[in-house]
């Protein structure tokens, strides 16, 4: 710990992003209790097969303290949480033995939402995952249309239609022949990730696997973006 981070710790003592308990050391990502008790998805339970010939790996089940932490990260301006979440996702990628990846990318916010929030939460996670896994982080998609919030009444087909055409390729990056790992904060129906995969494959990506911090069950409703 250097002098500056020691000073910052005095001003803003580091807290566990999940339960907000004070952490003993600034280099801890979460408290020992959450490490023990959070709903971790391990082994096969952490993997879901998507329709667009891809797999989605998730570190945690989207429930309880995980929902609250992700809401604070996305909706209460606590962007610093990426410093804990990113390494947890990289750990998930290592535990799940995700291989054959040339670059990390993310499901981006629209420009309007980015202006409103000031940061793209999935991009911050992608940057951390890239750093931890020593892989390049690439901007490959743009969100060109905001999707209306998904309601509980909608079935899978409606969700899919809702998100169709919401993303376009970022022409600055050539993804031809690349094997990508697509990062997002939460996966619910998978419709968003599948639409991103579809676009990336249209742009010539060889394969796309997905990595999210959390996965919601079919019964839970995610607050979008
Ligand atoms: Zn905790």
**Phi and psi, residue 78, nearest 5°:** -85, 65
**CATH number of the domain bearing residue 182:** 3.40.50.2020
Report the separation in Å between the CA atom of 35 and the middle of ligand 1, taken as the mean of its atom positions: 7
**Domain assignment present for 99:** yes
- pLDDT of res. 162: 83
Those residues whose beta carbon sits under 5 angstroms from the ion ligand 1 are 16, 18-19, 21, 31, 34
Which residues form the domain of 92? 14-215
CA-to-CA separations, 98 to 44, 46, 117, 216, in angstroms, rounded: 13, 12, 31, 21
- pLDDT of res. 147: 77
**Domain assignment present for 9:** no
**Domain assignment present for 143:** yes
**Domain assignment present for 223:** no
Burial class (CB in 10 A: 0-12, 13-18, 19+), 141: buried
Report the separation in Å between the CA atom of 23 and the middle of ligand 1, taken as the mean of its atom positions: 8
- pLDDT of res. 198: 95
pLDDT in tens, the chain (225 residues): 566 766 666 666 789 999 999 998 767 899 999 999 999 999 999 999 988 778 999 999 999 999 999 999 999 999 999 999 999 999 999 999 999 999 999 999 999 999 999 999 999 999 999 999 999 999 999 999 887 766 555 677 888 888 888 999 999 999 999 999 999 999 998 999 999 999 999 999 999 999 999 999 855 555 555
Pairwise CA distance, residues 106 & 120, whole Å: 10
Report the separation in Å between the CA atom of 174 and the middle of ligand 1, taken as the mean of its atom positions: 41
**Domain assignment present for 128:** yes
Domain count, the chain: 1
Pairing of strands 47-50, 54-61: antiparallel
Q: What's this model's pTM, rounded to 2 decimal places?
A: 0.90
**Domain assignment present for 177:** yes
- pLDDT of res. 53: 75
**Domain assignment present for 173:** yes
- pLDDT of res. 80: 93
């Amino acid at each position: 710990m250097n002098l500056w981070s020691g000073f910052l710790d005095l001003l803003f003592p580091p807290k566990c992003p999940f339960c907000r308990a004070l952490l003993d050391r600034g280099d801890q990502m979460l408290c020992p209790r959450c490490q023990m008790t959070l709903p971790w998805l391990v082994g096969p339970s952490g993997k879901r097969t998507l329709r667009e010939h891809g797999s989605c790996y998730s570190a945690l089940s989207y429930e309880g303290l995980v929902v609250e932490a992700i809401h604070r990260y996305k909706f209460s301006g606590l962007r610093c949480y990426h410093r804990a979440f990113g390494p947890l996702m990289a750990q998930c990628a290592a535990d799940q033995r995700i291989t054959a990846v040339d670059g990390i990318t993310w499901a981006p916010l629209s420009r309007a939402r980015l202006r409103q929030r000031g940061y793209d939460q999935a991009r911050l996670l992608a940057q951390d995952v890239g750093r931890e896994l020593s892989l390049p982080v690439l901007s490959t998609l743009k969100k060109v249309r905001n999707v209306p919030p998904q309601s509980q009444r909608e079935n899978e087909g409606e969700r899919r239609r809702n998100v169709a055409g919401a993303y376009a390729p970022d022409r600055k990056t050539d993804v031809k022949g690349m094997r990508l790992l697509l990062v997002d904060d939460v996966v619910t129906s998978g419709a968003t990730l599948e639409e991103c995969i579809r676009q990336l494959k249209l742009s010539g990506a060889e394969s796309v696997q997905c990595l999210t911090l959390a996965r919601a069950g079919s019964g839970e409703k995610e607050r979008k973006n």
